[in-house]
Amino acid sequence: MRKTDDGNNILSVASREAIYGHIRRWTDYLPSDVYDRLCNCSTTSQDISVLTDAKWRRMIDLGKDREGFIKEDALVFVLELLDSNGIDTEMDKETYESLCR
């Protein structure tokens, strides 16, 4: 088995799947139309809520909520992803706060 520089074992994807089951991505929680728009850098403002919910759901699956992460962290991830894809996501404070709930 390969080792990292600090001596830890590196598991292959097949090994991780055998141990942990199917490894889900946060995008697996998206409806196909929202996923298609995300992949084509054509996300709409209505998609942000769905994207945030999907990312938050995956974070919960991974136990990130027990580590202190909150839904706002999922929203920030989504907004940064969209920004890196050149998608402008201006919103008012009320909209931002409602997406964090």
Tens of pLDDT, residue by residue over 23-43, are: 689 998 999 999 999 999 999
Q: Tell me which amino acid residue 16 is.
A: R
Q: What is the domain partition of the chain in residue ranges?
A: 24-99
The total of other beta-carbon atoms located within 10 Å of residue 11's CB is: 14
- Residues 39-56: pLDDT tens digits? 999 999 999 999 999 999
What band does 20 get if pLDDT is binned at 50, 70 and 90?
Answer: low
- Please, how many CA atoms are within 13 Å of residue 84, restricted to the half-sphere of its CB? 8
pTM equals 0.77
